[in-house]
C-alpha cells in the first residue's frame, strides 16, 4: 500500500512552519535598548533622543523582601520590567540579581526616572536606598 502526500497537505504544512518561524523570530528579535544605565549613573543627567529606548539596571535581591519601586515623569514610559537572577551554579537559595526596566523617551523635555529600594510593607522614611536619573529628551 502506497501513501501519497497531496500538494495541499504539503502547502498547509509549509504555511504552518512559516507562521511558526515568524512567531519565534518576533519573540526572539525584540530590539534591545542601545544604552543601559546602572547604579553608577545615580544622580546624573543623560541625554536621549525622543522615541528612543534605554534600560535602567539596578542590583536587587527580592528574596530579602526588598524591591525597587520605580516611577517616571510623564515624558517617559516603562515598556518592560523584569528581574534577572545572577548565575547560580551551586543552586544556592537567596541569590541576588538585577531589576531591569526598559524605558521609552516619549516626550521632549526634562524627564526623571526614580526608584526606591525598600520592603513594600514598610513606611517610606527617606532613608531608603534611592536611584534618580535625570533624562533630557531631545
Taking only the tens place, the pLDDT of each residue in 69-121 is: 999 999 999 999 999 888 877 777 778 899 999 999 999 999 999 999 999 99
Residue 4 lies inside a defined structural domain of this protein: no
Contact (Cβ atoms closer than 8 angstroms) between residue 60 and residue 113: no
pLDDT recorded at residue 24: 47
% of the chain exceeding 90 in pLDDT: 62
Across 3-128, the runs of DSSP E, i.e. the strands, are: 36-37, 44-48, 53-60, 67-72, 76-85, 97-105, 109-118
Residue 65 lies inside a defined structural domain of this protein: yes
Segments forming the whole domain that contains residue 127: 36-137
pTM, two decimals, is 0.73
- Residue for cell digits 535581591? 61
Q: What is the CATH number of the domain that holds 105?
A: 2.60.40.2020
pLDDT band at 67 (very low <50, low <70, confident <90, very high): very high
Amino acid at each position: 500500500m502506497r501513501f501519497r502526500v497531496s500538494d495541499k497537505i504539503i502547502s498547509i504544512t509549509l504555511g504552518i512552519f512559516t507562521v511558526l518561524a515568524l512567531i519565534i523570530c518576533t519573540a526572539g528579535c525584540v530590539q534591545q535598548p542601545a544604552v543601559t544605565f546602572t547604579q553608577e549613573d545615580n544622580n546624573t543627567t543623560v541625554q536621549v533622543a525622543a522615541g528612543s529606548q534605554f534600560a535602567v539596571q539596578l542590583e536587587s535581591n527580592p528574596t530579602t523582601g526588598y524591591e525597587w519601586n520605580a516611577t517616571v515623569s510623564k515624558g517617559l514610559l516603562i515598556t518592560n520590567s523584569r528581574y534577572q537572577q545572577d548565575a547560580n551554579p551551586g543552586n544556592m537559595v537567596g541569590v541576588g540579581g538585577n531589576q531591569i526596566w526598559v524605558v521609552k523617551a516619549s516626550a521632549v523635555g526634562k524627564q526623571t526616572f526614580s526608584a526606591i529600594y525598600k520592603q513594600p510593607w514598610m513606611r517610606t522614611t527617606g532613608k531608603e536606598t534611592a536611584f534618580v536619573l535625570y533624562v533630557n529628551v531631545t
